[in-house]
Chain A
Amino acid sequence: MAEEVKLFGTCGSPFSSRIQVALKLKGISYEYIEEDLTNKSPLLLKYNPIHKKIPVLLHNGKPIVESLVILEYIDETWKANPILPEDPYDRATARFWAKYIDEKCVAAAVKAFWAEEKEREKAVEEACECLKTLEGALKDKKFAGGETLGLVDIAASFIAFWLRSFQEISGVELLTEEKFPDLFKWCEEYVEHPIIKEHLPSRDELIVFVNKRRQNLK
Chain B
Amino acid sequence: MGDEVKLFGSWASPFSRRVEIALKLKGVSYEFIQEDFSNKSPLLLKYNPVHKKVPVLLHNGKPIAESLVILEYIDETWKGNPIYPEDPYERAVARFWAKFIDEKCMPAAWKACTAEEEQEKAMEEACECLKTLEGALKDKKFFGGETVGLVDIVANTIGFWLKVIQEMMGVKLLTAEKFPVLFKWSEEYVGCPIIKRDLPPSDELMVHFRAILKRAK
Contact = CB atoms under 8 A, between A and B. Distances in A.
Given A65-B96, A69-B96, A100-B50, A92 B89 contact: no
B108 to A, nearest CB: 13
B99 interface: yes
Interface string B43-78: 000000010000000010010111011101100110
Given A96-B66, A99-B69, A91 B76 contact: yes
A69 B95 contact: yes
B95 A92 contact: no
B15 to A, nearest CB: 13
A59 B89 CA distance: 9
A96 B99 contact: no
Interface string B82-117: 000000110110011001100000000000000000
Contacts of B72: 91-92, 95
Contacts, number: 55
B79 to A, nearest CB: 11
B99 A66 contact: yes
A171 interface: no
A96 B96 contact: no
Interface in A81-109: 88-89, 91-93, 95-96, 99-100
A50 B77 CA distance: 32
A69 B89 CA distance: 10
A135 to B, nearest CB: 12
A216 interface: no
Contacts of A73: 88-89, 91-92
22 contacts: A65-B96, A66-B95, A69-B95, A69-B96, A69-B99, A72-B92, A72-B95, A73-B89, A73-B92, A76-B91, A77-B88, A88-B73, A89-B64, A91-B72, A92-B72, A95-B66, A95-B68, A95-B69, A95-B72, A96-B64, A99-B66, A133-B50
Given A50-B132, A91-B73, 7 more contacts: A66-B99, A69-B99, A92-B64, A92-B73, A99-B66, A99-B69, A100-B50
Contacts of B73: 88-89, 91-92
A127 B100 CA distance: 25
Nearest to B75: A88
Interface of A: 50, 59, 62, 64-66, 69-70, 72-73, 76-77, 88-89, 91-93, 95-96, 99-100, 133
Nearest to B132: A50
Contact of A92 (B69, B92, B96): B69
Interface of B: 50, 59, 62, 64-66, 68-70, 72-73, 76-77, 88-89, 91-92, 95-96, 99-100, 132
A72 B65 contact: no
Nearest to A93: B64
A132 to B, nearest CB: 11
Given A50-B132, A88-B76, A88-B77, A96 B92 contact: no
A23 to B, nearest CB: 15
Contacts of A133: 50
B92 A89 contact: no
A146 to B, nearest CB: 18
Nearest to A98: B69
A3 to B, nearest CB: 13
Given A70-B92, A95-B69, A50 B64 contact: no
Given A73-B88, A76-B91, A77-B88, A89 B59 contact: yes
A50 B105 CA distance: 12
Nearest to A74: B88
A17 to B, nearest CB: 20
Contacts of A69: 92, 95-96, 99
A91 B88 CA distance: 16
A66 B70 CA distance: 20
A72 B82 CA distance: 18
A76 B64 CA distance: 22
Contact of A64 (B65, B76, B89): B89
A70 B65 CA distance: 22
